[in-house]
Structures are given as C-alpha cells and as structure tokens.
Amino acid sequence: MEPAGSGGGGALERKRHVSAWRRVHNGLMYAPVVGDASHPPAFSLAGQPPVGFIPISDAGRSLAFYRDRLGLRLVAEQLPFAVVLEAGGVMLRLTLVGEVKAQPFTIFGWRVTDAELAVATLTAAGVEFARFPGMPQDELGIWDAPGGARVAWFRDPDGNVLSVSENPEWPK
C-alpha cells in the first residue's frame, strides 16, 4: 500500500520509470542523454557542487600552505585520511596518500577576476610562481593564452601544479 499523496503506482510505477530510461539495442542497454527533454533525468550532477581532491604527503605542511599562504578556510582535520578546506564554496580534500607522484600539469586551479592581483597577493604571501619552457610568460609568470585567458602556475609543497586563471569570457 502506498502512502497517501504519494502518487500511487508503487513498485510497478517505479519499474515503468526505470524501464522508460532504458533503450535496448543488440542486447545492450542505453540511457538517453542527460537533459533529453523526452526523458528528464531523475538526478543530474550538473547542479551539484563538486569536491576537489589533492594528494598530499604531510598534513601539517600542506595545511600551512593551503590555509596560511593561500587563505583557504579549514573545515576539518580528518586525520589520518584528509584535511578538508573550503575554496570558493567548494569542498577541497587534501588527501593523505603517503608518497605523492606530482603530475606535470595543473591538477587544481582557481578562477580569478584579476590575474595580476592574484599573483602579486600570493607572491607577497610566499608563493613562488612556476615558469615553463615554451610558454611565454610575463615578469609575474602570467601566460597570455591565445583565447584571451591569463594563467599563472605554482606548486604546493608536494609539487602538485596549481593555477590561477583570468578569462574574459567568464562572468565577473
């Protein structure tokens, strides 16, 4: 029996809803593209806030960098697993992994409205900006991308590449 006001249908209605999402072709099941007007999604990640993950090897050293130099807000120390920070309304988990194998590309970045101000402020806080061969960067370390974005990179204590990006196409 369905609770009053539930719309009825129970298991049969749920089964119809699920089967309406499935399309069978040669024995394989497919779902429509999320946002397909004829089959609105029951759930979509599009409106959910993301969670960022950055591998670290030392919680204290990373906390000093991310909180004290970058200015992020500490949410929780969930040791021995992670340090949780807030970055622009997004949860950022600094995940303890033992040995970090830093990648040669950006793993996390911030959208900023003024790249020069961001670089100057972070430099004053002790952040060192990186230079990359083949990337023409100005005296502050900012690269002007062909599409108009302005990007500068720096590394955390584990060598993870982080960035600040100003893009004229983004809303201010």
Q: What is the CATH architecture of 102-172?
A: Roll (3.10)
Mean pLDDT of 114-141: 96
CATH number of 49-99, picked from 3.40.50.2300, 3.40.50.1950, 3.10.180.10, 2.40.10.10: 3.10.180.10
Mean pLDDT of 119-123: 98
pLDDT at 14: 44
DSSP letters along 111-129, please?
E-S-HHHHHHHHHHTTPPB
Mean pLDDT of 109-127: 97
pLDDT at 168: 84
Both tokens assigned to 13 = 């209605």
Global pTM reads 0.75
pLDDT at 3: 47
pLDDT at 39: 66
pLDDT at 12: 47
Mean pLDDT of 131-156: 96
Residue 152 pLDDT > 70, yes or no? Answer: yes
CATH 3.10.180.10 intervals, the chain: 49-99, 102-172
Cα→Cα distances 48→41, 43, 44, 84, 157, Å:
14, 10, 8, 18, 30
Both tokens assigned to 46 = 């599009």
pLDDT at 16: 44
pLDDT at 170: 75
Both tokens assigned to 122 = 């972070």
Residue 94 pLDDT > 70, yes or no? Answer: yes
pLDDT digits (tens, 9 = 90+) for 34-86: 556 666 678 889 889 999 999 999 999 999 999 999 999 999 999 999 999 99
